Chains A and B, each alone.
Chain A
Amino acid sequence: MEDTAVVVAFYVLVVVTLGSALMVATVRDLIHAVLFLILSFVGVAGLYITLSADFVAVVQVLIYVGAISVLMLFAIMLTPRTGRDNASVPFAAPIGVLAGLVGAVIIFVAFKTEWAKADGGNSFETTAAEIGRALLDPFVIPFEVASVLLVVAMLGAILLVRPGSGGDAG
């Protein structure tokens, strides 16, 4: 990709995404952490756009920022007496080393493998139409199973938090 604007946008969005992910890990207040998580979601959506995945980017904003973030904020609000201080478990430093090691291994493998890259990258005319065709022709069974999964998850969530008989041993 030679378009300089896209390259600049890519690196700016990388800084935004990784920066807000690090702030999720380190900031003191839980609500601030959720807001930085939302910023990283938006940053990832921007990265999708620089990688020619416009439909997935809009779906990401719609679902992650519009629904999952609201869910997380509601869950924080419905648990009032817990500590809202985004604390870490006592032995957080070895976990950081472990996570860094995992990241290093992945980066090493990414550079070592010889990927079968297409010449000049793949280009899509309209991703929405192609995704629609792919969802209905080769991927129709995962599509239907995903809708069943969503119904089951919705029912499960409602049953778990129903006042009265949900959640306790009864």
Chain B
Amino acid sequence: MLPLLNWYDFDPIREFYEWVGDNTADEVVYVLAGIVGAVGIISFAGLGALANVWLERRIIGRMQVRRGPNRVGPFGLLQPVADAIKLIQKEVLQPRASDRALFNLPPILVFIPAMLTFSVFAWAPDLVYADLNVGVLFILAVSSVTSLAIFVAGWSSNNKYALLGAMRIIAMAISYEIPLVLALLAPVIFAGTMSLAGIVDFQREVDVWLAFLLPMSLFIYAIAATAELNRTPADIGEAESEIVAGFHTEYSGMKFGLFYAVELINSLAVSGIVASLFFGGYSLYGAEEYIPPWLIFVGKIYFFYFGLIWLRGTWPRLRIDQLMAFAWKMLIPMALINIIVAATEVLLWRELEWDNWVLAVFAVVNVVLMVVMFGFFFRLITRNFYRLPRRVRLVHDISVPSLPAPDPAASS
């Protein structure tokens, strides 16, 4: 059918569509609605990127007991504009030994997954750009294209440090993809559908948000998504003190600006996924009759984006081996146990037809399990971290081989 016709808060647009549909064919309305929706999503993402630049610097400044940028406009509000102008007027360099054809590809390639993720969100009860049946898996699939783009960026720079930074990021990205997929499986099991609009409908139906039923999924997803986004505490790729500037060392001007903007847009997309899957999307326990649902959804997105900024402002950066150990030894077992627990709960709830109060029991059980597993795996993997490697021990027991007893005959 034509899923884009029912933009119910946007009555002038709906009347315009009906007018076009009456005068021309239905396919024209479909294409037109597709274009209008795409323009809407791209403008939301672009304006979001601009706003996020200001939000991040200002809020992180406040967390570090200093004011953020406050010179460029009132409260520094024109700072993103100044940043954009600065990046546009910079000279766009291309190293001579770099791969000519491949150098310009990554800034474009890394933009595509960010945009595609926004297209499956449910902004209001009938306001989905593409209500895919496999929405959650689609988001995961397109986010794995990001690591490819980063590799091409690192490779085509013809720069050892860029390649090294790109390799580290890809190793981290593919390690954290597994807990990401496994953690998002539990809400899908509960809701019975992979489409984001369906999961939001499920949360409206049972009148409880999945964050209370599946806190472990939320925890694992939040950590894995932070690592996928290359944000602190997992931003070894762009750790300026460590590896020059990682994979975007050789990119200058607006190409670098595009990488930076895509990181911000991806943060918005991840916040959108958390808001849709775990916190009810556009619903607010009935308040969506009075407040426009898309406004509630955007509010939730920015609420969780504030959480991401908070993480960035307070936590130090983790080492790459710490990150890898965390992903493989802690998040994956936790995610697997989470799936087993979620499947058991759905079995008890749906097949045996117990009442809805059993969901409260599930919530308590899940929180207890999360704390227990976190403690258990934490002890398991940090047992060897505080022991120094068995290499050079300068102070303690260096067993110096004892010198042979001096030969009485050879002494002078």
Interface residues of A (CB under 8 A from B): 4-5, 29, 31-32, 35, 38, 54-55, 58-59, 61-62, 65-67, 69-70, 73-74, 77, 126-128
Q: Which residues of A contact B261 (CB under 8 A)?
A: none
Number of A-B contacts (CB under 8 A): 65
> Quick check: B133 and A66 within 8 Å, CB to CB?
no
Beyond A31-B155, A58-B138, 11 additional pairs, beta carbon < 8 A:
A55-B134, A61-B141, A61-B144, A61-B145, A62-B137, A65-B145, A66-B174, A70-B151, A73-B151, A73-B155, A128-B134
Q: Does B132 contact A (CB under 8 A)?
A: yes
Taken together as a complex, chains A and B put the C-alpha atoms of A35 and B109 apart, in Å, by 12
> Quick check: A65 and B144 within 8 Å, CB to CB?
yes
Minimum CB distance partner of B143 in chain A? A66
Q: Does B194 contact A (CB under 8 A)?
A: yes
In the complex, how many residues of chain B place their beta carbon closer than 8 angstroms to a beta carbon of chain A? 26
> Quick check: A35 and B174 within 8 Å, CB to CB?
no
> Quick check: A58 and B134 within 8 Å, CB to CB?
yes
Minimum CB distance partner of B181 in chain A? A62
- Contacts A58-B134, A128-B134; is A67 near B174 (CB within 8 Å)? yes
Minimum CB distance partner of A45 in chain B? B141
Q: Does B81 contact A (CB under 8 A)?
A: no
Can you list 28 pairs linking A and B with CB atoms under 8 Å apart? A4-B27, A5-B27, A29-B99, A31-B155, A32-B102, A35-B102, A54-B132, A58-B137, A58-B138, A58-B141, A61-B144, A61-B145, A62-B137, A62-B140, A62-B141, A62-B144, A65-B144, A65-B148, A66-B144, A66-B148, A66-B174, A67-B144, A73-B148, A74-B167, A74-B170, A77-B163, A127-B133, A128-B134
Q: Does B142 contact A (CB under 8 A)?
A: yes
- Contacts A32-B101, A126-B133, A127-B133; is A70 near B147 (CB within 8 Å)? yes
How many Å from the CB of B342 to the closest CB on chain A?
15
Partner of A128, one of B163, B170, B194: B194
